[in-house]
Amino acid sequence: MDPTTAMRVMRDPDAELDERIDAARDLIAWLHGGGFTPVGEDRIALLDEAGRIARPAIDGSPDEHLEAAYDDRFADDEVWS
């Protein structure tokens, strides 16, 4: 996807979240690969915006799924001392 289209899709609030994330990742790859920054855009601000879209915030602890898996796995095991 070209950078102008990627920018348009990632900023479109009516686009599906998956499409916005894919567009943001394409734009990040383009910019990190040495591609030009679209006219009127700041490269750093654009990377920051695309990064926020590509990695949406997680509700709760980032290790919450690991803690839950640990609890599930070892909940019924006997503890040896």
pLDDT at 39: 86
pLDDT tens string 42-59: 999 999 999 999 987 656
Task: Look at residue 9 and give its three-state secondary structure.
Answer: helix
Q: Domain ranges for the chain, please list them.
A: 3-57
Burial status of residue 67 (CB atoms within 10 A of its CB: 0-12, 13-18, 19 or more)? exposed
pTM: 0.66
Rounded distance, CA 21 to CA 81, Å?
49
Q: Which residues of the chain have pLDDT under 50?
A: none
